[in-house]
């Protein structure tokens, strides 16, 4: 199978990059599944139903959230209506929505998307390791599930790396989101799981993690109250990870970083040959 995981979409610039690049990618490549993280898509804080619909129309199959899941209050009800939107699975019982979703491709293959939220420097949620262990024991890779994508939304690189090794051989790919900077450690782990500590954001990299520089710099240098953070608005770089899996085992056979548009150095699988690479 051919899978694409895309990082956190930040603000209007990030949304425009998704709506520009994702249809081009889907036209050029016979992807089986696209996951993207949308928790910063609405002005940098949360996701709306309208934006989610735009992403689905552009070619996303599932959208994951994170610690900003409920910044847009409408998502509390909309997530119950559209199960393709996935919040962290280790939220407490009774939280709206679900932390996993199974999609079926036109060819009949089933792809499970799971989201977890880390606990190091984050909210004190349920144990993400115990949570995912239960899910992968029910939805076993290579049986009725042809691919499993796990989005680990967290601050600590160590926690996300530990999750990668914990799930190695049990899922197709483990990718990190939340810290908004693409890491250079994309790899296939020893037992066949594709891994990257952080996918990076889909946003303007002339910024502080996607937000205009002035306010966060003041927060660090002056330690005084400031205005609300606002997303940076120059051209965004679309960042993600492309993975190919074995049709029999569901484990990964190829992993390639993706960076398109904006300020960062450009990267794409050679056979994509997308135009307008700067």
- C-beta separation of 66 from 97 below 8 A: no
- C-beta separation of 146 from 111 below 8 A: yes
Q: What is the dihedral of CA 147, 245, 262, 122, to 10 degrees?
A: 40
pTM metric for this prediction: 0.96
Q: What is the pLDDT of residue 226?
A: 84
In the chain, alpha helices (H): 11-28, 49-58, 75-81, 128-138, 157-167, 214-222
Q: What is the pLDDT of residue 227?
A: 86
51-82 per-position pLDDT tens digit: 999 999 999 999 999 999 999 999 999 999 99
94 Rama sector, left if φ>0, alpha if ψ -120 to 50, beta otherwise: left
Rounded to the nearest 10 degrees, the angle between the axes of helix 11-28 and helix 49-58 is 30
278 pLDDT higher than 60 = no
Q: What average pLDDT is seen over the chain?
A: 96
- C-beta separation of 93 from 59 below 8 A: no
pLDDT tier for residue 276 given thresholds of 50, 70 and 90: low
Kindly report the CA angle at 12 between 5 and 41, in degrees rounded to 5?
A: 50
Distance of CA 129 to the CA centre of its chain: 18
176-229 per-position pLDDT tens digit: 999 999 999 999 999 999 999 999 999 999 999 999 999 999 999 998 888 889
- C-beta separation of 211 from 44 below 8 A: yes
In 29-63, alpha helices (H): 49-58
State in Å, rounded, how far the first CA of the chain is from the last one: 29
The residue assigned the tokens 């019982």 is 93
115-170 per-position pLDDT tens digit: 999 999 999 999 999 999 999 999 999 878 999 999 999 999 999 999 999 999 99
**Known catalytic membership, residue 186:** no
Mode of pairing for the β-strands spanning 194-196 and 173-177:
parallel
Q: What is the pLDDT of residue 277?
A: 45
What span, in angstroms and rounded, lies between the C-alpha atoms of 214 and 165? 38
What span, in angstroms and rounded, lies between the C-alpha atoms of 30 and 47? 27
Domains defined for the chain, CATH in brackets: 2-272 (3.60.21.10)
Q: Which of 68, 78, 153, 178 is catalytic?
A: 68
249 pLDDT higher than 80 = yes
Q: What b/e string do you get for 124-137 counting C-beta neighbours within 10 Å, with b at 16 or more?
A: ebbebeebbeebbe
Of all residues in the chain, the percent with pLDDT exceeding 90 is 94
Average pLDDT over residues 247-261: 97
pLDDT tier for residue 174 given thresholds of 50, 70 and 90: very high
């Amino acid at each position: 199978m051919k899978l694409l995981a895309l990082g956190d979409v930040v603000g209007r610039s990030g949304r425009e990059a998704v709506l520009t690049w994702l249809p081009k990618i889907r036209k050029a490549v016979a992807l089986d599944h696209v996951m993207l993280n949308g928790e910063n898509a609405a002005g940098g804080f949360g996701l709306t139903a309208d934006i989610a619909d735009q992403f689905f129309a552009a070619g996303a199959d599932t959208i994951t959230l994170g610690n900003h899941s409920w910044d847009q209050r409408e998502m509390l009800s909309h997530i119950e209506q559209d199960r393709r939107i996935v919040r962290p699975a280790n939220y407490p019982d009774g939280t709206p929505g679900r932390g996993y979703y199974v999609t079926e491709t036109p060819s009949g293959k089933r792809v499970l998307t799971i989201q977890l939220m880390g606990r190091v420097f984050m909210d004190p949620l349920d144990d993400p390791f115990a949570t995912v262990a239960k899910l992968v024991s029910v939805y076993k890779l290579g049986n009725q599930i042809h691919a499993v994508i796990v989005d680990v939304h967290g601050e600590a690189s160590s926690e996300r790396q530990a999750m990668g090794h914990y799930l190695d051989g049990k899922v197709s790919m483990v990718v990190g989101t939340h810290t908004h900077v693409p890491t250079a450690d994309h790899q296939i782990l020893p037992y066949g799981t594709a891994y990257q500590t952080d996918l990076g954001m889909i946003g303007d990299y002339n910024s502080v993690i996607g937000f205009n520089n002035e306010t966060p710099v003041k927060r660090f240098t002056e330690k005084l109250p400031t205005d609300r953070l606002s997303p940076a608005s120059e051209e965004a770089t679309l960042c993600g990870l492309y993975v190919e899996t074995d049709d029999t085992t569901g484990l990964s056979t190829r992993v390639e970083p993706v960076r398109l548009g904006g300020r960062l150095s450009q990267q794409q699988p050679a056979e994509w040959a997308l135009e307008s690479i700067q």
